[in-house]
Chain A
Amino acid sequence: MTTVVGAIRLDYLSGRSYLRLYPLFFLLALLVGTVAKMPVFTILLVVILGVFIAGGVFANQEKNHGERLYGTLPLRRRDIVLGRYLYALILGTIASVIAWAFGLLASRLAGVDMGQLGPRRSSLGGTPGLNSLIMWFAIGAAFAYFCFAVAIAFPIYYQFGFARSYMFTMLPLYLVFLLGVLITRAINPGSLDVTDTIQFFIDHVYLLPIIGVVLGLLFWAVSWTIAHRIYVHKEI
């Protein structure tokens, strides 16, 4: 077993008892999206839960003097950080797949399109290929959001410890909302003709998850570098 794989496995094993609780919350997310007839809700909730699971590794480690366990094992600091980030990546991938599957399921159960944003039919409905566009957009965005959230939270946890900074788990969400509001204000989408863009992505729908993954990995890599810098010299 190489040490990085060992570190990933240790992250998994030390939080395993909590992982059992999460399926319940995933089902709840499914229920919310179905009842509200907004499958996008399900996707959003599942991914946010995924971010919580990833942060839970830090919570759990702090509670159990985990830094001492990791510090006494034959593990380099850089392997510990890389292992943690790879474990997060695995969680993010799983969460994205669940988000997509449950989003689809919610849309079936509710009898609405994936992209429908409320009980009434979306105004965009009817364009051929739009459903799959929104579906693939959702999964790409889900993954990118997960990585973005982890990218912001993890270095903060490494620097300040989880107990003192767990509220930052929600920070990325606020940032995304803030960014969304600012962009909407700035470009006034009503005046924009996006038909061509949408048609482009309908024709090249595979690009959406690729963009999401590339963007996500970029966040992930930058954050990992920062966390590595922080942790290599940290006193434990």
Chain B
Amino acid sequence: MSDAAMNDALEVIGLRKRYRDFRLDSVSFSLPAGYIMGFVGQNGAGKTTTIRCILNMAVPDGGEIKVFGLDNRADELAVKQEVAVVFDEIFFVDSWRASDVQNAIQGFYTRWDRARFARYLSDFDLPPDKRVRELSRGMKMKLMLAVAMSHGAKLLILDEPTSGLDPVARGELLDILRDYIADGTKSVFFSTHITSDLERIADYITLIDAGHIFYTGTKDGLLEHFRIVKGSAVDLTEPLRRAIIGFSQASTGFTGLIRTDDLRGAPAALVTEAPTIDEILIHISKDGGRS
């Protein structure tokens, strides 16, 4: 095992998975321990499928997945001791109360911490006597987080944890995640299509589009890697046209997204500006998965 692998909380290498009308195509990325990675892409891009492969809920057609250097299937039990998961839908029995959830689950984890769970319940203002089905969406999310963070997991995987939450609850959740990784040993991998969440807390970003990884790396790198480019029709050369992602043209001129590297040698008259993550997403989705 290389040092790099040891220092990665999560490493996905060449993951392939095929459904009738969809294909994860050699998905690769890695999340260094101690950081937060946002996993973005539009609906149906393959985020949940990737997460299900990581959790051995779906069986990949090829590729490798490592969690702290351990194979996610061969070492499934060890891996799942280290991983906590939050899905967009709560998966606890609807008649359970918070104490029932703890009672049912704690025995599976070697490092379950009752005191910590109790503290999260009170920090999150979760009513202990309410049944799961009686909780609001935000409360359900917080209950899942409380469980996820109480068994000493070093990698938190969240599938669209912020969807359906109001801005205040979303902000709270992001703060909770930031606190969770504060000691430097824990990592978070979360999928979202709310890009403002990423701008707030992600250190790394993996952009997936129609089953292809479009970008993976640091958030700052992403924003430096790409520029929004605008120009008038006379400046549009053929190589430039080919380099532009999500190209659109109007009578006043053209606009699109371009890799910073592809700007070298471009006409000086072009106007470029830094994109937002949203703009990057929109442009790559216009091109229908070309990367």
Residues in chain A within 8 A of chain B (CB atoms): 1, 3, 6, 9-10, 13-14, 17, 60, 63-69, 71-76, 233, 235-236
Contacts and interface: CB of A to CB of B under 8 A. Distances in A.
Contact of B95 (A1, A17, A69): A17
Given A65-B90, A235-B58, A3 B108 contact: yes
Contacts of A10: 104
A74 B70 CA distance: 14
Nearest to B100: A13
Nearest to A66: B91
Contacts of B109: 74
B77 A69 contact: no
A68 B91 contact: yes
B108 A73 contact: yes
Contacts of A75: 77, 80, 108
Interface in B118-173: none
B147 to A, nearest CB: 10
A13 B93 CA distance: 9
B61 interface: no
Contact of A76 (B77, B94, B103): B77
Interface of B: 52, 55-59, 76-78, 80-81, 83-85, 87, 89-95, 100, 103-105, 107-109
B163 to A, nearest CB: 16
B77 A74 contact: yes
B91 A65 contact: yes
Contact of A14 (B84, B85, B93): B93
Contacts of A76: 76-77
Contacts of B108: 1, 3, 6, 73-75
A10 B93 CA distance: 10
Most buried by B among A9, A17, A63, A68: A68
B103 to A, nearest CB: 7
Given A69-B91, A235-B58, A13 B104 contact: yes
Given A17-B95, A66-B91, A72 B55 contact: yes
Given A71-B57, A72-B85, A74-B80, A64 B92 contact: yes
A74 B104 contact: no
B93 A60 contact: yes
25 contacts: A3-B77, A60-B93, A64-B91, A64-B92, A64-B94, A65-B90, A65-B91, A66-B91, A68-B87, A69-B91, A71-B57, A72-B80, A72-B83, A72-B91, A73-B108, A74-B78, A74-B81, A75-B77, A75-B80, A76-B76, A76-B77, A233-B59, A235-B52, A236-B52, A236-B57
